[in-house]
Amino acid sequence: MASIVVSLSPASMADAPSVRHHLKENTKVKTNDSSSFLRGGYGNAFVKSKSFSRFSMVAAVNVSHFEGISMAPPDPILGVSEAFRASTNEMKLNLGVGAYRTEELQPYVLNVVEKAEMLMLERGENKEYLPIEGLAAFNKVTAELLFGVDNPVIKQQRVATVQSLSGTGSLRLAAALIERYFPGAKVLISSPSWGNHKNIFNDARVPWSEYRYYDPKTVGLDFEGMIADIKAAPEGSFILLHGCAHNPTGIDPTPEQWENIADVVQEKNHIPFFDVAYQGFASGSLDADASSVRLFAARGMELMVAQSYSKNLGLYAERIGAINVVCPSADAAARVKSQLKRLARPMYSNPPVHGARIVANVVGEPDLFNEWRKEMEMMAGRIKSVRQKLYDSLTAKDQSGKDWSFILKQIGMFSYTGLNKSQSENMTNKWHVFMTKDGRISLAGLSSAKCEHLADAIIDSFYNVV
């Protein structure tokens, strides 16, 4: 029996009998099984079929497939930049997205990045595909930068490193590994955490729950809550830890607290899973900012680390980072790496080369490496100086005696102000300070010149809005 597929507009469907009239009985329009023909894109809801004496007619109605899709909410972080761009107020300040700005509030391309790009041009490098695991020279230096060249995990080749699409892509690849090889295992995320963490694990279908982290009473770490929740998690859970400069709070555990966290993680046979998005950018020192990861590695633990070069090299749009899995042996590392490649292949095939070459050049050339460290110190130093100035302005303006010193205890590019949703909205609506609704401000987007304005906005929102 022949199936005839005719695409008709809803109006012409009314004329279906006249269409039939024009078709000869034995017309062979399509002889395949009509369902397989339709499978490519027409859902059954949009298909009308009619049987006539010697043939059946299947009409794919020209109804939109996409009309029924609802509007997604704007991304809570990236949506702030969109709102900022739309504002015409001259006092406007974008403290939403975590991207470094100069004192003039302009984006900054590091000198070492420009020099590394010149080197690439001089060498006349091509644009061939990278292998699935990425650029070998990048993978080597990125793991060494994280753990230290002399770390036994490096020397014994126990780290499976795969270049991926910056921090986000590296986390996503690790999430796919968890979903595939640890079905049902839970990831524990700090409360609060970087907004995308939950999305990543939701999309990878990895179950997650939260551990306590932030104590609103002290605007500090709820260390006891954190330890209790990690202890209570099912054995063998993945504990997502921010290596340094916790986002959004800017509150990091002390070295002693890190030791205690490692004790509990080890006791419960959990797997530490570090997100390192700010190495060198938090304190200005690459080694100091990697100390939490190294402390866990020194205990001989297996662990995973997602790395990003968005902030410390300002390579936001190059999407350059890596996932590192510390394994018990070189053999196991080779197997884990092979599986990470297997997961990456259908997702994005292979990673981009440009950022990988920049990192490999900067880290691999001693002169550029030293210059990078100085530029990182400069960026971290500028953030620390506006942090101090904001604190000074708040203390000078606020006569109530409130202790604002929590701002100085926080580290990295963010400060958690303790402002609630409506207070944060007041910051934007009345003072044109664009920020996320959780009270987080990115100090990397603040200049000394705007500290007074920001302090006025915070004081007004804190005292006059509930």
What tokens does 30 get? Answer: 């399509």
- Which of residues 167 and 351 has its CB atom nearest to ligand PLP in the complex? 167
Contact 332, 368 (CB under 8 A): no
The stretch near ligand PLP (CB under 6 A) out of 161-169, 179-187, 380-388, 424-432 is 161-169
Please identify which residue in 94, 247, 324, 393 interacts with ligand PLP, judged by CB under 6 A: 247
Give the CB-side neighbour count of residue 128, counting CA atoms within 13 A. Answer: 6
Give SS3 for 30.
strand
Per CB under 6 A, does 275 bind ligand PLP? yes
- DSSP states of 126-153 as a string? --PPPPTT--HHHHHHHHHHHH-TT-HH
Per CB under 6 A, does 194 bind ligand PLP? yes
User: Which residues in 124-146 are b (16+ Cβ under 10 Å) and which e?
Assistant: eeeeeebebbbbeebbbbbbbbb
Distance, in Å, from the CA atom of 170 to the CA atom of 62, rounded to the nearest integer, reads 41
Instruction: With residue 406 as reference, give the H or E element that holds it.
Output: helix 406-409
- The active-site residue, picked from 115, 186, 194, 208, is 194
Please identify which residue in 167, 280, 352, 439 interacts with ligand PLP, judged by CB under 6 A: 167
| Cβ at position 452, least distance to ligand PLP in Å | 27
Per CB under 6 A, does 166 bind ligand PLP? yes
Per CB under 6 A, does 310 bind ligand PLP? yes
| Cβ at position 39, least distance to ligand PLP in Å | 36
311 has catalytic annotation: yes
- Which of residues 42 and 278 has its CB atom nearest to ligand PLP in the complex? 278
Give SS3 for 107.
strand
| Cβ at position 197, least distance to ligand PLP in Å | 7
| Cβ at position 240, least distance to ligand PLP in Å | 9
Contact 430, 460 (CB under 8 A): yes
Per CB under 6 A, does 34 bind ligand PLP? no
Q: How far is CA 302 from CA 86, 193, 285, in A?
A: 47, 23, 25
- Looking at residues 323 to 382 of the shown chain, list those that interact with ligand PLP (rule: CB under 6 A): none
**Number of residues in contact with ligand PLP, rule: CB under 6 A?**
13
Catalytic (active-site) positions:
194, 275, 311
The footprint of ligand PLP (CB under 6 A) covers 98, 166-168, 194, 242, 247, 275, 277, 308, 310, 316, 321
